[in-house]
Every structure is written in structure tokens, then in C-alpha cells.
């Protein structure tokens, strides 16, 4: 009975905390703070999906900018032609997922570092393609020069924030569900040894494809929300390496292959994002150096450091006779 009461208390506290987070824009917080939390939820969704790929599936994917850029362009263009922005965001995620299915055929033939290199090439190729692309006919204008988001009259920052909140919190529950499902068990087997998993009867390609498409869909939606708030999209930013660095940095800093790791890491990344804004030209370099330092000094991230400290303090002290 006591266990049930404690569980009910934990869930009640969690629900209240999440509702407070959702209500932050209504509490009169400064606009800058609302932006911090909006970016936190967007980055959190991306970090959770990279953790799903690398931490739980063994796929070192570096093509997150492709999903972000494709979803962002899909959303902006659909809003241009009159599609409601809610539907346009979901459509962006669907297109990103479909693109993941398309590129999975060649990239899944690669393994390890070769898979990483293969996925790294994809967003760069798309960046060049979108720089060269020009719309033909109609009222659309922009192409390689970028697009301004139109048709958003009456939509406030609160709307953007709530959508980001839904996606960020939703990614946490999605990860929790996946890791406790048959898909999660299969992905764990593949991460440990995909050849042994295949010999045990698991369909390795299908399991990898599921995780790849889910990650692309959620990452695409998060990217579309970001560009919904930005109000402008262009190839250099949409397919930038920053969309690779952000989820990797958040996951590694917090602790890869852990559920709480991306949360901790995303808090650090958002802090760094605004702290290093004044050093825009060197921001990626500084973040890269921090990433390397964390990997060398604490490979399992802050989560593992916290676990070791907790274990050390909870260990019973021995007294001499």
C-alpha cells in the first residue's frame, strides 16, 4: 500500500511540475526566459532521438540536419500555400520520416564509422541542392535565398512554446515507451552485437529502420517548430552542422544510453547556446572542444558522475576496531 501511495505521489508531483512548465508564458516571465525554455524543449526532442539512434540502436547518425532542413522547408512552403501551421509541422515530420526510409537503403549497407560518414554527406548534399533550387511559377519566391514565413497573424510566442512543450515532453514519454517495448529489447540486442542478433532471428534491418524513421519524424517536427518560431529558413542554417552538434553534445554531456542524460545535457547546451552567442564565429569550435573534453574526462557524462557520487556517499562507513 505504501508503495502505491508513493508512486501516486510521484506521478502527481510530476504532472503538477509539467503543467507548471506549460503555463510559464502565462506567468509573466521575461520573453528571453520563454525563449530559453522553448529551445530547451526543441533541443530535448532532438537529443532524445539521437540517444535512441546512437545510445540504444548503435547507429552513429550524423544526418540530423537533413531531417531538420527538409521538415522546416516543408512546413514553411505548406504555410505559404495556406495549410494550417499545425498540420504543416506534422507534414514536415512525415516528409522527414519518408526521406529517412529513402536513404536507409544505401546507408544501412554501411557499418560503424562508414555509416557515420555516409550520413554526414547527406545534409551537405541537400544544402547544395537547396542553394541551387529555384521555385518555378506561382507566387512562391525564395528557393536558395530562403523563405520568410507568412500567414501567421494572431499566432503568439505562447502558441510556439506550447507546441514545443508537447514535442519535448512527448519525446520523453516516447523514449520510455520504446525502451520498455519489444522494439527496445531488439534495439538493445542490435547495439550489443547485430550479427548475433541477426543469427538469433531478429530482423536487424527492420529494427534499425524503425528507430531511424521514428528519430527522423520527431527530429523533423522539432526542427519545423524551431523555424516556425524563427520565421525564416535558408539552406545554410537549415542544413547546418549545428543540428548535428546540438543533440550529440546534449546526449554526451548528460550521459548516453540513459533516459535522464538528454535532459541534463540539454540544460547545459541551452546555457552554452546563449553564453556563446557573442562568439558566433567560434561557437561551434568551442562546443566541439567541450564535447571532446567531456568524452575524455567523463565518457558516461554527468549522469554517471552523479551515480558514482551517490554510490560513494551511500556506502556505509567502516570504523576501526
75-123 pLDDT tens trace = 999 998 889 999 999 999 999 999 999 999 899 888 888 899 999 999 9
Q: Is the pLDDT of residue 317 over 70?
A: no
Nearest by Cα to 192 from 84, 58, 307, 86: 58
Through-space distance between the first and last CA atoms of the chain, rounded to whole angstroms:
42
In the DSSP assignment, the letter for residue 53 is: I
Residue 213 lies in a domain: yes
Residue 215 lies in a domain: yes
Domain that includes residue 74, residue range = 30-239
- Of all helices (H) and strands (E), which one includes residue 232? strand 232-233
CB 56 within 8 A of CB 255: no
Cα–Cα distance measured from residue 76 to residue 146, given in angstroms and rounded to the nearest whole number: 10
pLDDT at 304: 65
pLDDT at 312: 67
Residue 125 lies in a domain: yes
Using pLDDT thresholds of 50, 70 and 90, give the confidence band for residue 155.
confident
Cα–Cα distance measured from residue 193 to residue 181, given in angstroms and rounded to the nearest whole number: 19
Residue 145 lies in a domain: yes
CB 162 within 8 A of CB 156: no
Q: Quote the cell numbers at residue 145.
A: 535565398
Q: At what angle do helices 157-179 and 204-230 cross, to 10 degrees?
A: 170
Backbone angles phi, psi at 100, to 5 degrees: -60, -40
Residue 90 lies in a domain: yes
Cα–Cα distance measured from residue 133 to residue 60, given in angstroms and rounded to the nearest whole number: 29
Q: Quote the cell numbers at residue 195.
A: 550479427
Residue 5 lies in a domain: no
Residue 256 lies in a domain: no
Using pLDDT thresholds of 50, 70 and 90, give the confidence band for residue 13.
confident
Work out the percent of the chain whose per-residue pLDDT is above 90: 42
* Helices within the chain (DSSP H only): 2-22, 31-50, 56-57, 64-80, 85-107, 112-132, 157-179, 182-192, 194-199, 204-230, 235-238, 242-254, 261-275, 283-297, 301-314
Residue 117 lies in a domain: yes
- Mean pLDDT lowest for which of 17-21, 85-89, 211-215? 17-21
Stretch 303-313: mean pLDDT: 66
Q: Is the pLDDT of residue 259 over 50?
A: yes
- Overall number of domains in the chain: 1
Give me the residues paired with residue 232 across strands.
Answer: 148
Amino acid at each position: 500500500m505504501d508503495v502505491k501511495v508513493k508512486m501516486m505521489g510521484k506521478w502527481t508531483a510530476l504532472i503538477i511540475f509539467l503543467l507548471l512548465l506549460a503555463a510559464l508564458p502565462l506567468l509573466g516571465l521575461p520573453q528571453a526566459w520563454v525563449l530559453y525554455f522553448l529551445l530547451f524543449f526543441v533541443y530535448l526532442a532532438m537529443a532524445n532521438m539521437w540517444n535512441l539512434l546512437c545510445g540504444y540502436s548503435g547507429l552513429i547518425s550524423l544526418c540530423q540536419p537533413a531531417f531538420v532542413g527538409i521538415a522546416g522547408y516543408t512546413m514553411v512552403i505548406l504555410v505559404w500555400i495556406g495549410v494550417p501551421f499545425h498540420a504543416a509541422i506534422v507534414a514536415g515530420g512525415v516528409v522527414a520520416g519518408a526521406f529517412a526510409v529513402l536513404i536507409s537503403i544505401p546507408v544501412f549497407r554501411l557499418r560503424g564509422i562508414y555509416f557515420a560518414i555516409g550520413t554526414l554527406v547527406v545534409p551537405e548534399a541537400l544544402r547544395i541542392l537547396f542553394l541551387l533550387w529555384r521555385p518555378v511559377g506561382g507566387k512562391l519566391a525564395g528557393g536558395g535565398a530562403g523563405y520568410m514565413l507568412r500567414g501567421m497573424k494572431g499566432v503568439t510566442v505562447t502558441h510556439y512554446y506550447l507546441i514545443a512543450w508537447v514535442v519535448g515532453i512527448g519525446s520523453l514519454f516516447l523514449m520510455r515507451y520504446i525502451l520498455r517495448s519489444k522494439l527496445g529489447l531488439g534495439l538493445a540486442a542490435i547495439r550489443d552485437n547485430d550479427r548475433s542478433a541477426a543469427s538469433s532471428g531478429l530482423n536487424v534491418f527492420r529494427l534499425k529502420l524503425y528507430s531511424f524513421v521514428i528519430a527522423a519524424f520527431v527530429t523533423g517536427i522539432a526542427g519545423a517548430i524551431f523555424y516556425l518560431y524563427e520565421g525564416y529558413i535558408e539552406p545554410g542554417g537549415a542544413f547546418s552542422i549545428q543540428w548535428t552538434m546540438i543533440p550529440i553534445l546534449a546526449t554526451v554531456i548528460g550521459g548516453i544510453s540513459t533516459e535522464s542524460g538528454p535532459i541534463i545535457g540539454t540544460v547545459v547546451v541551452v546555457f552554452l547556446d546563449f553564453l556563446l552567442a557573442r562568439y558566433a564565429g567560434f561557437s561551434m569550435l568551442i562546443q566541439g572542444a567541450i564535447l571532446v573534453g567531456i568524452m575524455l574526462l567523463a565518457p558516461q557524462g554527468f549522469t554517471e558522475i552523479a551515480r558514482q557520487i551517490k554510490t560513494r556517499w551511500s556506502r556505509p562507513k567502516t570504523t576501526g576496531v
